[in-house]
Amino acid sequence: MPPSPLVLSTLTATTVGYLLGTVPSADLAAKAAEREQTIDLRESGTGNPGATNAAEVLGKKWGAAVLGADIAKAGLASVLGRRLAGPVGATAASTAAVIGHCYPIWNGGKGGKGVAASIGQVLGTFPAYFPLDVGVAVATAALPTLKERAFVANSTASAVWVASALVWWKKQWPTGWDDSAHGSLPIGAAVSSLCIASKFLANPIERDAEGNAIGIERVAQ
């Protein structure tokens, strides 16, 4: 029995989302920055090709550009996915974009942590949650114990995201895009959260005496 049109459309949305996620925003920013030589963000600062490291190594304007691009990747993926397969397509595509950002096939899976891409996923699938997401981010940043522990802070934010998605689905509340939350919403939040957590565990961060973020594995070298 051939797969249904919805299954095929969802698979197409997932593929498109993953490919969008693999666009190397930070690498492109590093090449575009006016420097005497191109900087490899995987060998500088924390070693993470993401917005925070780009801001510390290349400058704040480049960090902001990378942040915007990474958010846009997952946001665009959700828009295209929604056109292809409705709410489930939006979730599948944006989740795949986060995975593609974290584990791009083009360079052996050496991608960023996916936090910015997950913001794009929230905006593209669950904008009703975004104010709460911002509130959690502000709260964790205000607590010194969490501010210095990126993994704990991110895990807290991820837990709230997944829990909120479950509540929205159970209550069938509107998401900001759809009249009622689809069952794929908490699944997408959980998958992206696990993907991001795996990157934090693989590349933990601590800060030096000046407060600069440094990857622990780079400190050990």
Kindly report, residue by residue over 97-133, the tens digit of the pLDDT: 999 999 999 888 889 999 999 999 999 999 999 999 9
- Only one residue has tokens 């397969």, namely 85
- Res 177: pLDDT: 96
Token pair belonging to 218: 């780079």
How much is the average pLDDT of 135-159? Answer: 75
- The confidence score (pLDDT) of residue 218 equals 30
- Give the per-residue pLDDT at 127: 97
Would you place residue 210 in the very low, low, confident or very high pLDDT band (cuts 50, 70, 90)?
very low
CA-based torsion, 136, 158, 71, 207: positive or negative? positive
pLDDT of residue 221: 24
Residue 167 pLDDT > 80: yes
Work out the pLDDT band at 44, boundaries 50, 70, 90: low
As a whole number of angstroms, the distance between CA 202 and CA 48 comes to 11
How far is C-alpha 40 from the geometric centre of its chain's CA atoms? 21
pLDDT value for 110: 87
pLDDT score recorded for residue 35: 61
Mean pLDDT of 139-160: 74
Measured between alpha carbons, how far is residue 205 from residues 39, 64, 186, 219 in Å? 20, 20, 28, 10
